[in-house]
Amino acid sequence: MEDLDSMLNALGIKSIDELFLDIPEDLKVNMKLGEPLSEYDLINKIKKIGDKNKRNHLMFLGNGIYDRYIPHLVDEIISRNEFLTSYTPYQPEISQGMLTALFEYQSIISDLTEMDVTNSSMYDGYTALGEAVRMAYRINGKNEILIPENIYKSKLSILNNYSYGLNIKYVKYGFDRDTGLVDLNDIQSKVNENTCAIITENPNSYGLIDENVLSINEVKKNSLIISYYDPISLGIIKPPGEYGADIAVAEGQQLGIHMNAGGPLLGLFSFKREYVHKSPGRLIGEGVDKNGRRAFVMTLQAREQHIRRARAMSNICSNQALMAVAATAYLSILGSSGLRKIASITVNKAERLKSALKSHGIQTVFNGINFSDVLFHYGNYKKIAENGISGGLRLSDLTNIDYYDDAVFFSVTEKTEDESINELARILGDD
């Protein structure tokens, strides 16, 4: 109280209320906060208040953004002052820590995808795909891009935006309506002398691990292959480099980045070495300093907008370096065996989900092997909303496919509990 009186005297007032005389009485909240609490007690108090909210307690959202477990060490690492910045490390003499981390990121993603080169990040998976199309166009100058007929509308919108003004034409190839897998014969019939590239997805937009994609090299002729992949799935399925991809891109949110209502995200971008001078984004290279010690710098910068703006390969600037550090930390903590384990658990959870819902009369659209996303026949959207279920995204909302009427997605990760799966099955099957 002595401290309070001293401060009030110094201000020339008699009470704290006088500090707020300018605020109209009808705007003031007549509430007593009570005595101060410790951090622990305050957090618990706020948590109890928050627990009164109606919340979505069943998490089955996916289709690009996933609720995966993130080791606490990842957030600890990226919150350090030397990493927590949006700026590009133009001054290598004072940025060796960040440059080293980004070089490790490039190396890890290249190993994961079995591709030659990886840049130091793009904004997100969809814009990385847009940049991949532009890169393919720069490489061979052809103007037809083959895309899956079930490509997400949002993804196609980004592609149209990125290719605006380039006279690029998108041609859709089909899928087997019974299996949900790529129709290689349809691709082969549509590849011609004007085909610039074929965009593949594995897992595909139906959530299936698509074994036909592995044979895409046999039908591509003289076109390029752009692979859009799921980074976690590479713990158990063949990487893009193994089936001949020229450019491989992905959304990296699953690699240590929280869902955060959709951002920030991370675009993974890898490619064959022979195309490095046509590639977008920052590249971190290894060299030596004046004393002969190993050092890292941004390299091949003549490709970039701060050197040659009018002829730059891309206009990405500060990119997603911090998120790339998060991905580096995440994958380093997991290791190859940890990634394989998480991928295996995810597939097993998907099988568990299919089995549980089928036991309540809810059938899958396809009988193949799913990774995270599973497509079911289910039309009672009102029940999904009324029961606070996060999930049940409609295929017709996500894609332009209109021949599976009542098809909805439910998605799983290694965090999905069996109890949640059982409860979902009980709620949806209780018609």
**Could you read off the pLDDT of 38-87 as tens digits, one per residue?**
888 888 889 899 888 766 579 999 999 999 999 999 999 999 988 987 67
* pLDDT given for residue 302 in this prediction: 66
Q: Encoding tokens for residue 87?
A: 């700026």
DSSP string computed for 180-240 = --B-HHHHHHH--TTEEEEEEEES-TTSB--GGGGGGGGT-TTSEEEEEE-TGGGGTS--G
**Could you read off the pLDDT of 335-353 as tens digits, one per residue?**
999 999 999 999 999 999 9
The superfamily (CATH) of domain 58-69+335-428 is Aspartate Aminotransferase, domain 1 (3.90.1150.10)
Q: What is the DSSP letter of 287?
A: E
DSSP string computed for 131-177 = HHHHHHHHHH---EEEEETT--HHHHHHHHHHTTTTT-EEEEE-B-T
For residue 357, with 0-12 CB atoms within 10 Å meaning exposed, 13-18 middle and 19 or more buried, which class applies? buried
**Can you give the residue ranges of every domain in the chain?**
58-69+335-428, 72-331
Answer whether CATH 3.40.640.10 is correct for domain 72-331.
Answer: yes
Point out the least confidently predicted range of 60-64, 82-86, 209-213, 227-231: 82-86
What's the mean pLDDT when you consider all of the chain?
Answer: 92
Point out the least confidently predicted range of 158-172, 187-201, 295-309: 295-309
**Could you read off the pLDDT of 89-128 as tens digits, one per residue?**
777 777 899 999 999 999 999 999 999 999 999 999 999 9
